[in-house]
Structure 1
C-alpha cells in the first residue's frame, strides 16, 4: 500500500513507449507544418482579383473578356518589356438595383475600353503598349479588389485606373481609397457633384449640375410656359439621384417663378412596392397643372412613372414632358411591348446623354475622322465590325473608350522617359496638370483644375415607348459665351 507521499510520483515510462510518443509528436508536427505551409502557399497563390479571364464574370461578358485576354497575350508575347497596364474597375455583379449598371451597360463599357486598347496597340511605334485588366467593385467585392490592386501596382505595371462605375457609395469608397495612394483615376460616367476634387481623379462626364442646367435650358424651349415639378428618389447612398435633384431645384428656382413651380415629390426606391408610391406621384402630377416633370432617380423607376402619367386621363388629354438624367440610358434598348402609352405623342421622355452614336456616325459632327473610323465598319477593328449586333446609343462604349484614351494620352507624355520609373502617381499629376486636351469620340475633352471636363454642349435625346433613342438637340449648361468659374 503506497503512502500519501508517493501519490504524486510519476512512474518513468518504458523506453519503447517514449520512442513511440516522440514519433507521434514528430509526425504531428510535420503534419502541422505541411498544413501551415499549404495554407500559406494557397494564400500566396490566391487568384488575382485583377483579371482578363473569359469566365471571370457573367457569361454575357465572356466574348469581350476573351478578346481582351487575346490582345493582352499578344502584347506580352511581342513586347514583353514595353507594355503598361490600365485597370478597368466596374461593378461586375450586373445588379441594376444596386449599381445602376446592368450587364448590357457593362459589356458596352468593356467593348469601348478594348477598342481604345486595340487602336493604340496597332499604331506604329506604339510603345508603351497597353494591357487591359478588369476588376470588380460591386459593394461586396470592392474592398478586396482595391487591396489586391494596391499590392500589385508594381508587379502588374499598373499606371492608371479607368471606369469606376456610377455615382454610388461603393464608387465613393473606391475613390477615397485610391486617392490616398494618388493612383491615377479616369472616371468614365460619374456625374455626381459630390464626387469631385479628389487629387488623383479626373472625369469624362459632365457634373449633374451641368446636366440639369442644360436640360432646363432645353425644356424652356421645348415646353411653352414651363410649369415644372421635381420628382426625386431619396434612396440612401445614391449620390447621383440626390445631387441631380438638388441641381434641378436650384436651376429651376433661377428661371421659373415660384408660383409656376410645383412642390417637390419624393419616393424611396429601396422600399417594397415603391412603384405604388410612384403611381401616386403620377396621380398627383396629373391632378395639378404641371406640364413638365424633372425626374431625379435611376432609370428603373421611370417605367412606373411614365405608365402612371399615360394612364391618367388628365395627363393623357394634355401634353406633358418628362426630363431625366443620363442614367436613363439603361432603358435605351428596343422592347416589343411599349414601356408606356404615349397617347399620340402627348407623353414624352427626354434625357441628357453622356454621348450618342450621332457623335461618331454623323458626317456633320466635329469628331475627328480618325476617331470616327474606330467606331465604323470600314476597318476590321472598327466597333461595328467587331460588335455588329451591339448599339452605341447608350453612350457607354464611347465614354469608356474616351476614358482609356485620355489615360493613354497622359501616359504618352512620359513615353520618352524610363517606363520602369513611371508610376500611377506621375500619371495622376499629368492628368491634373491642366494640360490634357484631347479630341475624343464624345467630342473635345479639356480637363479643368478640379479634374472635371469642360463640356460646351450636352446631347439631349428623346426615348420612345419602345426603347429607341432619337437625337433631339445639343444644349449648353450656360448661355453662349458665358465663362465658367
Structure 2
C-alpha cells in the first residue's frame, strides 16, 4: 500500500503541467488567444534559431482574481499582449540575435512558490535570462522578489510602485514609485482645487504594501502643502474583511459631514465605486463639489460599462487618477515618444498593436508598461550579445543596475537609477467618468511649481 501511494504521488509530480509555459489552454479562456500567439512565435524562434535565443519569463497572477491580486483578466491579457508586441518587433529584426522566447508563469498566493522553484531549476536548460511583470505590490509579489533576489535573477517590474519593495539588488522597475505619484497628485490638486481641504482614505490591509506606501506619501506631501487646520483626520477601512463596503459607506457620510473638498484614495480600486456612490448621494458633497484622486490601480475600473458606477451630478463628483502610461503616449502626434515606438502600437504595420489586437484599449497602461519592461530587458541582454554562452540572469541584473541602460519606450524615456528605481519625473493625470471612460487631464510633476 505504501509503495502504491508513493508511486501514485510520483506519477502526479511527473505528470503535473509545467509552471512555466506557453500553452494556450493553461489559463483562462480569455487568455487563450494571446497565449497561442506567444506559443507560435516561440516555435518560430526554436525552429529557426535553436542556438541563438534567450528566454524571458513573464510572471503574473494568472488567476485574474482582482480581489486578491489587484489584477483582473483584462489587465493580464493586456500585459501579455504588450510583452508579446516587444517580442515580435525584436524577432523581426534581421540582426535580432539573441532572439526572444517568452514563457509565462503564475504567481498567485498558492502558486508562486512552485513557479519560482521550477524557474530556478530551468534557468540553464531554458536559457532564462530574466523575469518581467511580477504583478502588483501585494504579499505574493513581495515573496517572489525576495526569493529571486537570493539567486540574483534579473527582474524588471512593469507596474510595481510600492516604495516598500526596494533594496533588492536584482530588481528594477519601469514605473514611478508611489511616493512620486502621490506627490504629483497633490501638486495637481493644488492647481485643480481652489482652497484645497483634503482627507485621505486608506486601506489598512497588511498584505498590500501599495495602499500603505501610497497613503504615507499622500500624508507626507499634504503636510507640506496644506496647513493642519484644513486637513481632515485620515479615515481607514480594511479590505480583507467582509464588511469593508459598509465601512466605506460610513466613510462617505463622514466626509460629507466635514468641510473636506478633496479625497486622496490610498487603496485598490475594488471599493472605489462604493465610495463615489456614497459621495454622490449626499447633498452636502454634491453642493460643495468633491474631487477624488486615486493611484494608478484605478486603472482596473478604466473600462466602459453600460450603467454608471456613480452619479457625477453634473460634474460635481470628479474622479482623477495617476497613471503609469496612457494611450495618448503612442497616439498623440505631439507626444515625445519616438515615431518608431508609436508605429508598434498603430495599425499601419502588420505587427502593430491595433492590427494584432483590434479594439483592445490602452487606457489601463498595462500593454504599454509590459512592452517597456521587456524592451528594457532586451536592451540589457544586447550588451552581452557577443557572449551568449556566458549570459545568465545574474549578468543581466548587474547590467540593468549599472546605470548604463536606458530606452525610449512607449511610456516615455526610461532611465534606471543605481537603486533600481525609475528616474521618470512626470506622471500623467487622467480623469474617469462614471461610465469608465478615460480622458487625459494633464502631466504632473512631484516637484513644487517653484522647483520645476
Instruction: Compute the TM-score of the two structures, normalised by the length of structure 1.
Output: 0.91
Q: Does 1:439 align with 2:405?
A: no
Q: Does 1:348 align with 2:318?
A: yes
- Whether the aligned pair in 1 keeps the contact of 2:180 and 2:425 (CA below 8 Å) is no
Whole-angstrom CA distance in 1 between matches of 2:357 and 2:36? 13
Report the secondary structure of 2:245's partner residue: helix
Whole-angstrom CA distance in 2 between matches of 1:315 and 1:434? 48
Cα displacement (A) at 1:47: 2.8
For residues 346-403 of structure 1, give each alpha carbon's deviation from its aligned partner in whole angstroms, at most 9, with x where no partner exists: 0000000000000000000000000000000111110000000200000000000000
Whole-angstrom CA distance in 1 between matches of 2:424 and 2:37? 32
Corresponding residue number in structure 1 for 2:433:
464
Corresponding residue number in structure 1 for 2:251:
281
Corresponding residue number in structure 1 for 2:95:
125
Whole-angstrom CA distance in 2 between matches of 1:67 and 1:194? 35
Given candidates 313, 318, 321, the residue that maps to 2:288 is 318
Corresponding residue number in structure 2 for 1:19:
none
Whole-angstrom CA distance in 1 between matches of 2:150 and 2:77? 30
Cα displacement (A) at 1:269: 1.1
Corresponding residue number in structure 2 for 1:150:
120
Q: Does 1:172 align with 2:153?
A: no
Corresponding residue number in structure 2 for 1:12:
none
- Whether the aligned pair in 1 keeps the contact of 2:291 and 2:318 (CA below 8 Å) is yes
Report the secondary structure of 1:249's partner residue: helix
Q: Gapped runs of 5+ residues in structure 1?
A: 1-27
Whole-angstrom CA distance in 2 between matches of 1:92 and 1:413? 31
Whole-angstrom CA distance in 2 between matches of 1:436 and 1:183? 17
Given candidates 423, 436, 453, the residue that maps to 2:392 is 423
Cα displacement (A) at 1:273: 2.8
Cα displacement (A) at 1:43: 3.6
Cα displacement (A) at 1:41: 6.5
Whole-angstrom CA distance in 1 between matches of 2:451 and 2:41? 45
Given candidates 182, 193, 198, the residue that maps to 1:223 is 193
Whole-angstrom CA distance in 1 between matches of 2:9 and 2:305? 51
Corresponding residue number in structure 2 for 1:339:
309
Given candidates 213, 228, 234, the residue that maps to 1:243 is 213
- Whether the aligned pair in 1 keeps the contact of 2:157 and 2:171 (CA below 8 Å) is yes
Corresponding residue number in structure 2 for 1:450:
419
Report the secondary structure of 2:288's partner residue: coil
Cα displacement (A) at 1:478: 1.2
Cα displacement (A) at 1:316: 1.4
Report the secondary structure of 2:201's partner residue: strand
User: CA distance change for structure 1 residues 313 and 447 in 2, over 3 Å: closer, same or farther?
Assistant: same
Task: Show the 5 A alignment for 1:40-189.
Answer: 40=10, 43-44=13-14, 46-189=16-159
Cα displacement (A) at 1:441: 0.2
Corresponding residue number in structure 2 for 1:359:
329
User: CA distance change for structure 1 residues 81 and 37 in 2, over 3 Å: closer, same or farther?
Assistant: farther
Report the secondary structure of 1:317's partner residue: helix
Corresponding residue number in structure 2 for 1:269:
239
Cα displacement (A) at 1:319: 1.3
Q: Does 1:256 align with 2:226?
A: yes
Whole-angstrom CA distance in 2 between matches of 1:438 and 1:480? 28
Cα displacement (A) at 1:39: 6.0
Report the secondary structure of 2:21's partner residue: coil
Whole-angstrom CA distance in 1 between matches of 2:12 and 2:163? 43
Whole-angstrom CA distance in 1 between matches of 2:6 and 2:444? 63
Report the secondary structure of 1:416's partner residue: helix
User: CA distance change for structure 1 residues 35 and 259 in 2, over 3 Å: closer, same or farther?
Assistant: closer
Whole-angstrom CA distance in 2 between matches of 1:266 and 1:207? 22
For residues 20-75 of structure 1, give each alpha carbon's deviation from its aligned partner in whole angstroms, at most 9, with x where no partner exists: xxxxxxxx9xx96x997786576455432000000010000000000000000010
Q: Does 1:477 align with 2:446?
A: yes
Aligned length: 452
Q: CA RMSD in A?
A: 1.6
Whole-angstrom CA distance in 2 between matches of 1:436 and 1:476? 23
Whole-angstrom CA distance in 1 between matches of 2:45 and 2:310? 48
Report the secondary structure of 1:467's partner residue: coil
Corresponding residue number in structure 2 for 1:327:
297
User: CA distance change for structure 1 residues 159 and 482 in 2, over 3 Å: closer, same or farther?
Assistant: farther
User: CA distance change for structure 1 residues 314 and 422 in 2, over 3 Å: closer, same or farther?
Assistant: same
Whole-angstrom CA distance in 2 between matches of 1:215 and 1:53? 41
Cα displacement (A) at 1:335: 0.4
Q: Rg: which structure is higher?
A: 1
User: CA distance change for structure 1 residues 63 and 203 in 2, over 3 Å: closer, same or farther?
Assistant: same
Instruction: Compute the TM-score of the two structures, normalised by the length of structure 2.
Output: 0.97
For residues 409-455 of structure 1, give each alpha carbon's deviation from its aligned partner in whole angstroms, at most 9, with x where no partner exists: 000001122x1211100000000001111100000000001000111
Cα displacement (A) at 1:479: 3.5
User: CA distance change for structure 1 residues 316 and 35 in 2, over 3 Å: closer, same or farther?
Assistant: closer
